[in-house]
Structure 1
């Protein structure tokens, strides 16, 4: 018994010494500090909205994906004596987001991450001199006329999603389209993007019709799928519905037995939990275990933002901030989509494969097989270098 007690005491002493050494080593590491800024009361995360689970919409906070990425990268970071320190800061309005960004930079943050409305995102980018990673905003304006030199984008742009779907329609020879568009300002903006993609890939719009969900009995016909899809011959119905409520009622209710695409039916997304290639099932399972829900496109974007931070920290373990920024912009990242992903130098958008899903599984991928490009086929999704509207130099 006495010998056992001695051995136990020795083990405790060695464990204490080991912990002390680890603490010293950890203390010597210069962490890459990052701050996530999110809305204090995010309408996208309203309970009833999440319960309805519209395809392409977020189902949970961005911090979930970030934490999974950082936790699974601990061994890689420790191997090179690197570290990432992440904090989260909610903001209730644009001014609060700007103030949070300035405070984070002053406190030593090397990178900011945002999941904010468009004007808030621009306010944050203009308030600091460090890189800003846009995780959850797909607005094309942030990549085009309102781009910023230090603003990078993980989530695919609306143009990338539209191009992915247009390519898929071309590959299936569904060339004649009926376009149904909501009446909100966002739907009108997205409709213009959709029509640019349709023109880019030589598809034809046979008719464009507005729809409207209304409690007014006099406007009931504006949300009637049978009336809206009558009177034209088409190969597919493309619906633009940012809210998602009308779109989900459209499949299997059209006059002609035709597929529905866009915001219901066949939907282009950055990620789906049923993607079964390139290590994707393992990523989705790790996330589901940690967050208690399936991984969505926004979760994947947050996870990729964490991977970008880790890649920068590993490339430049001791910093300084300028080296972290350079590494983050140029280091390829593995997104479990079959190829290394990099940021485009002309608009800061992360190049990536898109997935086409019906909500049950992944039907296809884009770019479609056989499509050619002079340098990188991923640049067939979204604004390519010759057509860029972003005028900044990175």
Structure 2
């Protein structure tokens, strides 16, 4: 009799508790025991294999990718050598995603890949794709980025570019599986040009470094000058001459070089320097022949992020990052954080973790990422470049934010920065 009774109770598992209680009361069980039995049966049903599987968190694995490079020593001993640029930002993004994810039954994890060379990088990405990894924070140069994005099996993955500024990635060499978090050189040059024209500093003296990245920024500056009506009154190349700059007389040698480089120039408002390699640009302020401000890659710098940013809740992000990483947040850190948060925002809003759903949401009209810049950030549909305000900062202070007032666009003023849709050959979405 008892066996038949409990078999009947088991058959009622998953049904309303009152069904179990009625059966127990008919069999003569006291009311408290009948109620307790109903609770136990409900718990049994809740912890069935199907329910247990439903309770498992939605796993979202993300991979950070880079090729190990030795950081060059900065020109100034005041600047620390940071060895985890980009990675530290991605780590904070994972922590922030999991803060929300715990309430939504989502779990984010970061795999950190620092490959010794390009060949090892490709092999590691192939293995990760085979494991099912589909989200990659790509802290890579342009050619490295394209190489991994074009790997077999990577077509349905998403690579978030947090380092390469090359305009060609937004105009000619676009990939449907690459989203551009780092602002392009054109965006930065346009942001700087808008501010200079707002100040009516329309006559520029351009000093060019001779490294490939320097020349790429020179091209962006020429484009911005033409676009916004500035005049480059003179342009001079600078070839780096190694000197004993930390010797007792090193400052005198540098002072002489910079003065000689900048003398006998027609009247100009501002000196624009292109030295992405950080070889000589820091030597120009206060050493020019004419007393003029220095802007560009040094001096007043256009950037996605700067340690001086404190508006729109920026101080909160800065403090959390310093507590986490032990150093200030630099541009690549911010980009790494934005990349990981983009995935987290899309998964949270859609409830899906597959790359097709996430990708569609990221380039759709509903996506808005709060990123401490005063407005929600979005991705351009045609080339998947992240729209965002560009900070203009000196060494210790935020000076302005572009786009500047008065520069309008039919979609958003943010599209006045960089290559607009008609200027790009990319048609990704």
TM-score, with length taken from structure 1: 0.87
Alignment of 1:90-101 (within 5 A): 90-101=114-125
Q: How many residues align?
A: 366
Higher RCO, Cα 8 Å, sep 6+: 1
Alignment of 1:192-203 (within 5 A): 192-203=219-230
Match for 1:304 among 327, 338, 347? 338
1:393 aligns with 2:420: no
Post-superposition offset of 1:327 = 2.6
Match for 2:311 among 277, 283, 286? 277
Alignment of 1:99-110 (within 5 A): 99-110=123-134
Q: 1:277 to 1:216 in 2, by over 3 A?
A: closer
Q: 1:121 to 1:297 in 2, by over 3 A?
A: same
Post-superposition offset of 1:110 = 2.3
The aligned residue for residue 183 of structure 2 is 156
Q: 1:313 to 1:249 in 2, by over 3 A?
A: same
Q: 1:59 to 1:386 in 2, by over 3 A?
A: farther
Indicate if the aligned counterparts of 1:110 and 1:324 stay in contact, CA closer than 8 A: no
The aligned residue for residue 16 of structure 1 is none
Post-superposition offset of 1:92 = 2.2
Alignment of 1:375-390 (within 5 A): 375-390=411-426
Q: Following the alignment from structure 1 to structure 2, what is the Cα–Cα distance between the partners of residues 212 and 58?
A: 27
CA displacement, residues 286-334 of structure 1 (integer Å, 9 cap, x when unaligned): 0011111111111111111121121122123343332123233332211
Q: Per the alignment, in what secondary structure is the counterpart of residue 65 of structure 2?
A: strand
Indicate if the aligned counterparts of 2:162 and 2:336 stay in contact, CA closer than 8 A: yes
Post-superposition offset of 1:223 = 8.0
Q: Following the alignment from structure 2 to structure 1, what is the Cα–Cα distance between the partners of residues 91 and 256?
A: 41
Q: 1:31 to 1:274 in 2, by over 3 A?
A: same
Q: 1:222 to 1:282 in 2, by over 3 A?
A: closer
Q: Following the alignment from structure 1 to structure 2, what is the Cα–Cα distance between the partners of residues 38 and 320?
A: 23
Q: Per the alignment, in what secondary structure is the counterpart of residue 31 of structure 1?
A: strand
TM-score, with length taken from structure 2: 0.80
CA displacement, residues 138-169 of structure 1 (integer Å, 9 cap, x when unaligned): 11122221111111111111111111111110
Match for 1:363 among 395, 399, 406? 399
Q: Following the alignment from structure 2 to structure 1, what is the Cα–Cα distance between the partners of residues 65 and 58?
A: 22
Q: Following the alignment from structure 1 to structure 2, what is the Cα–Cα distance between the partners of residues 380 and 147?
A: 20
Alignment of 1:213-362 (within 5 A): 213-215=240-242, 224-231=257-264, 232-330=266-364, 331-362=367-398
Q: Following the alignment from structure 1 to structure 2, what is the Cα–Cα distance between the partners of residues 191 and 368?
A: 22
The aligned residue for residue 374 of structure 1 is 410
Q: 1:332 to 1:236 in 2, by over 3 A?
A: same
Q: 1:34 to 1:74 in 2, by over 3 A?
A: closer
Indicate if the aligned counterparts of 1:50 and 1:59 stay in contact, CA closer than 8 A: no
Post-superposition offset of 1:79 = 2.2
Q: Following the alignment from structure 2 to structure 1, what is the Cα–Cα distance between the partners of residues 254 and 221?
A: 24
Q: Following the alignment from structure 2 to structure 1, what is the Cα–Cα distance between the partners of residues 314 and 243?
A: 46
Post-superposition offset of 1:26 = 9.6
The aligned residue for residue 150 of structure 2 is 126
Q: 1:89 to 1:60 in 2, by over 3 A?
A: closer
Highest CA radius of gyration, 1 or 2?
2
Choose 59-68 or 124-133, whichever is displaced more: 59-68
Match for 1:29 among 53, 57, 69? 57
The aligned residue for residue 210 of structure 2 is 183
The aligned residue for residue 6 of structure 1 is none
Q: Which runs of 5+ in 2 are unaligned?
A: 1-46, 245-252
Q: Following the alignment from structure 2 to structure 1, what is the Cα–Cα distance between the partners of residues 82 and 401?
A: 20
Q: 1:318 to 1:184 in 2, by over 3 A?
A: closer
The aligned residue for residue 3 of structure 1 is none
Q: Following the alignment from structure 2 to structure 1, what is the Cα–Cα distance between the partners of residues 78 and 201?
A: 28
Q: Per the alignment, in what secondary structure is the counterpart of residue 278 of structure 2?
A: coil
CA displacement, residues 70-104 of structure 1 (integer Å, 9 cap, x when unaligned): 21232321222222222111222222222222221
The aligned residue for residue 173 of structure 1 is 200
